[in-house]
């Protein structure tokens, strides 16, 4: 294949790759996005979809990208039928007598307010109320793919054996390969954090709930989505399997039913398992290509907040490319 020096080759078809490709294509650059699977089959498609900095480091950079992304998602929520983004009220529930603020709250103090006693969910003692973007991920990924095509971008479905193959095709490569970077770069520092969800028929829950803190291997959250109520969840490090664990699923349902008893009788629609691409630090940096003539910009390792930081990271990537 001829080496194209006037365009950008984006590797990875999840939310990071699609968002980055959209930003670049809408700035006027020729863009090709290469992925071995369609957007609806990526890890991003099974994500819960709530905007929240989670399981990614370093915190200061993550907060910057997250709060650069928030206004864009808020604007997209004005067209939920088109974008899959809604602004939804919910609570960050805690079991401490007094609420402990999340680490990112000083960056946006007006985002959360302490719960009144009558608002505290069953089984909890305190928490915060918030209205945040909640994304129906299959719909949102389809929206991004349409937006990319409308801007002249091309989506190619094929597998790359290594990043060197991408560099052989284009002088400008953006690596948004997520967990695949483990072998593609290769980068042994990017590792999975397995997340398991249970989707049930929604018995009438219209607000999201996330239990704080969320550092453990198992946590509790409920996210009302158009396809059903998403119940979570897990954050098990270095688990590479995407097979659902029935025992874990039962514990997830039980934890959520302790908050909303009507969930215990809800029909299970689906089990989902995704592998979050975690790294000691998100890798967003440019480096000279292997042949010395090209440029590779890496944008991966976003852990549990790929959606949350997507637009902030994409715009930073655009700033690292030559004019």
State the CATH number of the domain containing residue 187: 3.40.50.720
* In a domain? residue 181: yes
Q: Indicate whether 234 belongs to any domain.
A: yes
Say whether 17 counts as a known binding-site residue.
no
Residues composing the chain = 323
d(C-alpha 311, C-alpha 294), whole Å: 24
Q: pLDDT tens for residues 97-129? A: 999 998 888 777 788 899 999 999 999 999 999
In a domain, 1, yes or no: no
CB-count burial class (<10 Å; 0-12, 13-18, 19+) for 161: exposed
Average pLDDT over residues 306-315: 98
Q: What is the pLDDT of residue 270?
A: 96
Q: What is the pLDDT of residue 6?
A: 61
Residue 2 maps to a domain: no
- How far apart are alpha carbons 152 and 163 in whole angstroms? 24
- Residue range 53-69: mean pLDDT, rounded: 95
> In the prediction, which pLDDT does 158 show?
95
Residue 3 lies in a domain: no
What is the average pLDDT score of the chain?
94
221 known member of a binding site: yes
Q: Does a structural domain hold residue 309?
A: yes
308 annotated among ligand-binding-site residues? yes
C-alpha–C-alpha distance, residues 5 and 30, integer Å: 10
Provide the pLDDT for residue 323.
82
Q: Is 74 annotated as a binding residue?
A: no
Domain that holds residue 109: 8-320
Residue 37 counted as an annotated binding residue: yes
pLDDT of 5 above 70:
no
What 3-state class would DSSP assign to 126? Answer: strand
Alpha-carbon distance of 89 to 137, in angstroms, equals 18
* 238 has binding-site annotation: no
Q: Say whether 256 counts as a known binding-site residue.
A: no
**118 marked as part of a ligand binding site:** no
Residue 146, annotated ligand binder?
A: no
In a domain, 89, yes or no: yes
Residues 6 or more apart whose CB falls under 8 angstroms from that of 127 comprise 91, 92, 93, 94, 99, 114, 115, 119, 120, 121, 212
Number of domains in the chain: 1
pLDDT surpasses 80 at 3 = no
- Which of 194, 214, 195, 73 lies closest to 134, judged by CA? 73
16 is known to lie in a ligand binding site: no
The β-bridge partners of 274 are 195
Q: Is the pLDDT of residue 1 over 70?
A: no
- 122 found inside a domain: yes
């Amino acid at each position: 294949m001829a080496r194209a020096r006037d365009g950008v080759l984006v590797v990875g078809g999840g939310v990071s790759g699609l968002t980055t490709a959209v930003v670049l294509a809408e700035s006027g650059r020729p863009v090709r996005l290469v992925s071995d699977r369609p957007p609806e089959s990526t890890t991003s498609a099974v994500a819960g979809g709530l905007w929240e900095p989670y399981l990614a480091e370093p915190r200061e950079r993550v907060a910057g990208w997250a709060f650069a992304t928030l206004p864009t998602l808020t604007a997209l929520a004005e067209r939920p039928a088109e974008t899959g983004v809604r602004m939804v009220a919910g609570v960050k529930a805690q079991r401490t007598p007094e609420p402990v603020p999340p680490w990112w709250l000083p960056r946006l103090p007006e985002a959360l307010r302490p719960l009144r006693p009558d608002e505290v969910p069953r089984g909890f003692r305190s928490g915060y109320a918030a209205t945040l973007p909640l994304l129906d991920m299959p719909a949102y990924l389809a929206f991004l793919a349409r937006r990319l095509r409308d801007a002249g971008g091309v989506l190619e479905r094929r597998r790359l054996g290594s990043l060197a193959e991408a560099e052989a095709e284009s002088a400008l490569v953006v690596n948004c390969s997520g967990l695949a970077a483990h072998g593609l770069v290769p980068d042994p520092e990017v590792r999975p954090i397995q997340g398991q969800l249970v989707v049930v028929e929604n018995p009438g829950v219209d607000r999201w709930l996330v239990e704080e803190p969320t550092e453990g291997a198992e946590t509790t959250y409920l996210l009302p989505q158009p396809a059903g109520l998403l119940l979570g969840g897990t954050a098990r490090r270095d688990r590479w399997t995407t097979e659902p664990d029935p025992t874990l699923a039962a514990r997830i349902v039980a934890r959520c039913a302790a908050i909303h008893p009507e969930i215990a009788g809800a029909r299970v629609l689906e089990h989902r398992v995704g592998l979050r691409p975690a790294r000691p630090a998100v890798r967003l940096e440019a480096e000279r290509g292997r042949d010395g003539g090209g440029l590779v910009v890496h944008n991966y390792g976003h852990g549990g907040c790929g959606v949350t930081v997507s637009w902030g990271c994409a715009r930073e990537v655009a700033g690292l490319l030559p004019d």
